[in-house]
Copies of this chain bind each other. A is one copy, B any other.
Amino acid sequence: MTLSNNQIKLINSLHSKKGRIDNNLFLVEGEKGIRELLDSSFKIEFIVLNRKEIQSHLNFGETPIYYESESNVIKYSSLTTNEYGFAIVHSKIFALNDFSFTLGYTVVLDGIRDPGNLGTILRICDWYGINQLVCSMDTTEYYNSKVISASMGSFHRIKFLYVDLPEFLDQFSGIPMIGASLDGKNVHEYEFPSNGFIVFGNESEGIRSQVKGALTDLVKIPSWGKAESLNVGISAGVILDNIKRQY
């Protein structure tokens, strides 16, 4: 089967946030993502593969598969490097009562703008066994293809909420809220509580003051050199490693 014009139009619309929201669909691109997807509870609308992959050993079950030329796959992809194929997938939206904040850690993001950073953070969360994410409204969209791609398949194991962050934190005062900040306490010497929120801020501004005011503590990764800061993905990796080594 090859794609109809309406399907091609639908795929193209999913390159934009508006199209993803209007259609309640998103793209999962590349072999690793599709392989993980088939293992998940996400509902797949259909899959488009490079004709070369007709012998694929993946088990697609009942999912409709369309085969296209490599040049078409590249043309319809939203990523520049995808020649394998992509899936059209139904978005999931989570509600507050899917979450529990009394056990373990929830990662909170205050204004992460770069989709690559968000995807990397999903992969890190999944490595360290953290499956709850709370994002400020201006954090980049979860179902952006670059987020999904950078997560290397981890996107389907994380629950997420987009909220008014100061209001949200206000609602949960009583739960430890620890932020990563250059003026925080040395994370190597810090005794983390057994549960709470761990907050990472915007790429250039860090955690904004309205959020920072709500936090119970701040931690910093100690430095031995002269770099002014670390990338937020690196900070998240190092700080989650410091939390998990204690539990």
Contacts and interface: CB of A to CB of B under 8 A. Distances in A.
Contacts of A129: 223-225
A125 B231 CA distance: 12
Interface in A127-153: 127-131, 152-153
A154 interface: yes
B230 A123 contact: yes
Measured as residues with beta carbon below 8 angstroms from the partner, the interface class of chain A is 20 to 34
Interface in A214-242: 221-231, 233-234, 237-238, 241-242
Nearest to A246: B188
Contacts of A75: none
**Copies held by the complex:** 2
A123 B188 CA distance: 20
Contacts of A233: 231, 233-234
A245 B237 CA distance: 15
A127 B120 CA distance: 20
Nearest to A130: B225
Nearest to A244: B224
Interface in A14-48: none
Interface of A is mostly: loop
Interface of A: 120, 123-131, 152-154, 157, 188, 221-231, 233-234, 237-238, 241-242, 244-245
Pick the 3 closest A-B CB pairs, nearest first. A129-B224, A129-B225, A126-B227
29 contacts: A120-B234, A123-B227, A123-B230, A123-B234, A124-B227, A124-B230, A126-B225, A126-B226, A127-B221, A127-B225, A127-B227, A128-B225, A129-B223, A129-B225, A131-B225, A152-B229, A153-B227, A153-B228, A154-B225, A157-B226, A222-B244, A224-B244, A230-B237, A233-B233, A233-B234, A234-B234, A234-B237, A237-B238, A238-B241
Given A127-B225, A129-B223, A154-B227, 15 more contacts: A120-B234, A123-B227, A123-B230, A127-B224, A128-B224, A128-B225, A130-B224, A152-B228, A152-B229, A154-B225, A231-B233, A233-B233, A238-B241, A241-B241, A241-B242
